[in-house]
Amino acid sequence: MPARTLTALPTIKNQAATRAIQVVLYARVSSKDQEKEGFSIPAQLRLLREYANDNGFVIAHEFTDVETAKETGRSNFGQMLGYLKKHAGICRTILVEKTDRLYRNIKDFATVDELGVEIHLVKENEIISRDSRSSEQFVHGIKVLMARNYSLNLGEETIKGMTEKASTRATHQLATETSMAQTASARLWPIPMRRPSSPTF
């Protein structure tokens, strides 16, 4: 009797895994200082992983940045976009904590929008995609503008604070130097003592 080749049929679990939506995770902090203040990347990733697990998503890749989103050019953000373009047929979803973690400038917003991907803003409890209602896309756009304005205002306040600090330091230094000059002058040219006048009778 000829030997038969047995073909293993995919289990229901494997079939479900094959059909599961693949996603990428993105987490960001602006600086090491911000990370120390509690906006840590591990905390963001933990939230996103739990969300992916609860919704049956398969995590294809994780991307993180420690730099500002005020301007374009974030290294790993760019790599994420490249990954989504390369795997456009199987991965069309980004999981991110909230809007300002993903972008704070209009160009990055437009670039992501052109990809036509689905964005899950986990802390904001929102999902944005090409199928979203116009009102939802409008509100999301407003949030991007608010995030951009926050960065611009923060920059202005930082410059203002630095200018005020420099001005205060200069004023203090001038007062100190003036006081020292007056002290030195008094030592060089002491005020002569007047002899008491003889009493007249």
pLDDT of residue 152: 60
Reduced to 3 states (helix: H, G, I; strand: E, B; else coil), residue 132 is: coil
DSSP labels, 95-110: EES-HHHH-SSHHHHH
pLDDT(93) > 70: yes
**CATH 3.40.50.1390 is held by the domain 16-148:** yes
Which one, of 118, 77, 116, lies nearest residue 95 by Cα? Answer: 118
pLDDT of residue 49: 98
On whether the CB atoms of residues 89 and 81 are closer than 8 A, the answer is no
Beta bridge partner(s), residue 61: 24
pTM for this one? 0.66
Which tens digits make up the pLDDT trace of 53-92? 999 999 999 999 998 888 888 999 999 999 999 999 999 9
Of 54-68, 88-102, 111-125, 177-191, least confident by mean pLDDT is 177-191
Which tens digits make up the pLDDT trace of 14-57? 545 557 899 999 999 987 666 666 668 999 999 999 999 999 99
The tokens describing 134, both together, are 């116009």
Which one, of 119, 35, 134, 41, lies nearest residue 80 by Cα? Answer: 119
In the chain, how long is the greatest CA-to-CA distance? Answer: 157
Which tens digits make up the pLDDT trace of 144-186? 888 767 656 654 444 444 445 544 565 556 556 666 666 666 6
pLDDT of residue 196: 57
The tokens describing 33, both together, are 């200082």
pLDDT of residue 31: 79
